[in-house]
Amino acid sequence: HGSFQQPFVQLSHSSTMSSNNNTKHLQYHSGFNNQHASEALKGALPDFQNTPQKCPFGLYAEQLQGSSFTAPREHNFRSWLYRIRPTASYPEFKPLKKSSSKIQCSFPTNEYTSPRRYRWMPVDIPNEKTDFIDGIFTIAGAGNAAMKSGFATHLYAISDDMYNSTDKKRVMINADGDFLLVPEHGALYIKTEFGDLEVHPKEIAVIPRGVRFAINPLNGTARGYICELFQGHFELPGLGPIGANGLANPRDFLYPTARYEESDDKVQVVHKMQAKLFETQTWSPFDVVAWHGNYAPYKYDLTKFCAVNSVTFDHIDPSVFTVLTAQSPVAGTAVVDFVIFPPRWGVAENTFRPPYFHRNTMSEYMGLITGNYEAKMATSKKGGFVPGGGSLHNCMSGHGPEIRVFEKESTKKLEPERVGDGSLAFMFESMYHFNVTKFGAQEATLDEDYAEVWSDVKKNFNPNERGV
């Protein structure tokens, strides 16, 4: 019923490289926010213009705009797609008839709004066949997608393909925001209009607003985290006095190369708008033969993050571990920061090295991809902070290392040591308050004993003995 074309890569506009982990030998363009250009059929891109009177090979030119036309150049995002049929020719969308979706995109103050410190166990991977669209659960968020303000924090747990060659052809469009995907269990094969990505745990992917995509679990099941950004787009953080290098290097962000299907098989296209789902039946939307621009999905390998830390004394603020940020109009203040805690050396002298006790104007949702987080040691009746689980410390809610961690790290002999080997934790940090959803407060598995990790804090104060 159709043919699948391997990519021809136009190297004159962007270098390409292969992913270390992929099993499909996919090739990628390299460079964050570069102006990439890719062809699956040599000569499919117009020679120098965007909208010639006639496009090569009878293709249609279609622009996908990720910002307003008049946004400043450094914040102006768009790509030109040269496709077999334009998306304007799709049949009209109608409300999706059947959906088990628990997606939210509006987060007003509700009955669950609280300074409570939350900790959740992982969601179960469903036994019944559940694809990505039906396997998303919103746990918390802030703002409103309709106003393009704020973000949402979701979990996903899936056990079925969205798109395959036998019995399933389902595609998603998200008009509400950009998806930042953080796999915890199971690799993902992400098929998009721009080409395909393969994303494993310890990697992330970003699918910008409006890009059509389908996600399959490569090994049958998958689970992970999503930050859906309603406001702006993710960018690399400024390096300030660090200099020109360090943290996430631009060259390590990988973009897909063009691949296309020419198929008239019926495909269900599901459009998410203000968390409502709509559907239409049409042909394959993966019919882009060539594209160029700076608005496209991408992936990044978190093990390539170049960590910066103190080599003298004191615990440096976690902002030095920022991979991506989405800035608010207030300078240096993020709608969302995506922060990781990678394996690294700890060498600070006369210093309490784990994260300190603190209260923060920013709110923090933490997740664990693998291993054990350095500031967490105790287990509760529910199991503690484990891969696939999460915790939430809202604005000005006191938190910090668990008491057994504090006692151990306050008294041990300090030597250069490895920190976090075999572990990878992350944080979605925001200027906004997180409002927890009904799913997060009542349906997800809460660790009701979380606060007990600080219940044994001792009073050590002695006004007659300085003790240092």
pLDDT digit string (tens) for the chain, length 468 residues: 344 444 444 433 334 444 444 445 799 999 999 999 999 999 999 999 999 999 999 999 999 999 999 999 999 999 999 999 999 999 999 999 887 779 999 999 999 999 999 999 999 999 999 999 999 999 999 999 999 999 999 999 999 999 998 889 999 999 999 999 999 999 999 999 999 999 999 999 999 999 999 999 999 999 999 999 999 999 999 999 999 999 999 999 999 999 999 999 999 999 999 999 999 999 999 999 999 999 999 999 999 999 999 999 999 999 999 999 999 999 999 999 999 999 999 999 999 999 999 999 999 999 999 999 988 865 655 678 999 999 999 999 999 999 889 999 999 999 999 999 999 999 999 999 999 999 999 999 999 989 988 988 999 999 999 988
Own/partner contacts of 283-287, CB < 8 Å, gap of 24 or more, are 283/85, 284/2, 284/169, 285/87, 285/171, 285/193, 285/212, 286/171, 286/191, 286/192, 286/193, 286/212, 286/259, 286/260, 286/261, 287/83, 287/84, 287/85, 287/260, 287/261, 287/262, 287/263
pLDDT of residue 406: 93
- 315 is known as an active-site residue: yes
Residues in the chain: 468
The pLDDT value given to residue 444: 93
Q: What pLDDT was estimated at residue 101?
A: 79
Q: Which residues pair with 415 in a beta bridge?
A: none
Catalytic residue among 75, 271, 315, 433: 315
> Of 214, 210, 200, which is closest to residue 261 (Cα–Cα)?
214
Q: Does residue 89 sit in helix, strand or coil?
A: helix
Question: Which residues, at least 6 apart from 431, have a Cβ–Cβ distance to it below 8 Å?
Answer: 328, 330, 333, 334, 335, 361, 362, 363
Cβ partners under 8 Å of residue 445, min gap 6: 120, 121, 122, 123, 382
Instruction: Name residue 54's amino acid.
Output: K
Question: Please, which residues bridge with residue 30 across strands?
Answer: 254
The answer to whether the CB of 50 falls within 8 A of the CB of 307 is no
C-alpha span between 58 and 63 (Å, rounded): 16
Q: In this structure, what token pair is assigned to residue 50?
A: 């965007």
- β-strand pairing of 170-174 with 267-273: parallel
pLDDT at 254: 98
Contact 213, 286 (CB under 8 A): no
Instruction: Round to whole Å and give the CA distance between 428 and 218.
Output: 26
**Residue in the structure block whose two tokens are 């002999």:** 413
User: If phi over 0 gives left and psi between -120 and 50 gives alpha, with beta otherwise, what is residue 383?
Assistant: left
- Number of C-beta neighbours around residue 5 at 10 A: 13
Q: Write out the two tokens for 260.
A: 């296309």
Segment (H or E) for 404: helix 403-411
Residue 13 confidence (pLDDT): 39
